[in-house]
Copies of this chain bind each other. A is one copy, B any other.
Amino acid sequence: MSQVRVHNFSISLDGFGTGEGLTLEAPFGHAGERLHEWMVATRFFHTMTGETGGSAGVDNVFAERHEPGIGAEIMGRGKFGPPQQGPWTDIGTDAEWRGWWGPNPPFHTPVFVLTHYPRPSIEMEGGTTFHFVDASPQEALELAREAAGDLDVRIGGGPTIVRDFLAADLIDYLHIVQAPLLLGRGVRLWDGLEGIEERFDVEVISSPRGVTHITMTRRQGE
């Protein structure tokens, strides 16, 4: 059976996966880029953005696991585009939103965007197609598994989506990166997840850069 994985999901010391005040210009709100500085510094990120260099240590070996073996991603509407609620207003217009990532997004697989307002799929260059589905975590996972074939499904975030999939006990592998800062406000990852660590083997390793990699791997047979 294919696995359901979360990679490189960054939170603050106080547990926020994104800040407050999200806009087109500030996708993570007042958090800015601070949660992800560790990743921007890696060779993984440099390569993805067409640059050379970048760190190649523990942060990078974790970061690189984002891609291999993934056949589909599930993300929230809040990850796909700037904050908006209700029916989409841009379909067919010149301003139609096609994601933050340019014409060739770094997914290269089907991506299922959870929204209460389905809309036609958007096919991008490089193998990424955005599908928009109004579905429960279980239903979305069924669609994504079918699309992924033998490969794994990545849960891409934001924090509410990761939390919902954890609460529904659908995650096999969780990689969280805790950055050494206090956001004070935003959307928390861990709310309402009392005791879930009992289903996982938990490992923790700090990196020289000052972030902490937390991995939770589902125990065999559980």
Contact = CB atoms under 8 A, between A and B. Distances in A.
Interface in A156-206: 178, 180-185, 190-197, 202-206
Contact of A181 (B180, B197, B210): B197
Contacts of A13: 190, 197, 214
Copies of this chain in the oligomer: 2
B212 A197 contact: no
A15 interface: yes
Nearest to A184: B194
Contacts of A202: 180, 210
Given A210-B203, A212-B204, A212-B212, A192 B197 contact: no
B210 A204 contact: yes
Which of A182, A197, A210 counts the most chain B CB atoms within 10 A? A182
Given A14-B15, A206-B212, A184 B180 contact: no
23 contacts: A13-B190, A13-B197, A13-B214, A14-B191, A14-B193, A15-B190, A178-B204, A180-B197, A180-B202, A180-B214, A181-B195, A182-B190, A182-B194, A182-B195, A182-B197, A184-B193, A184-B195, A185-B194, A202-B210, A204-B212, A206-B206, A206-B212, A212-B212
Given A180-B204, A182-B196, 15 more contacts: A13-B197, A14-B15, A14-B193, A15-B15, A180-B197, A180-B202, A181-B197, A182-B194, A184-B194, A184-B195, A202-B210, A203-B210, A204-B210, A204-B212, A206-B206
Closest 4 CB pairs of A and B: A184-B194, A14-B190, A180-B202, A204-B206
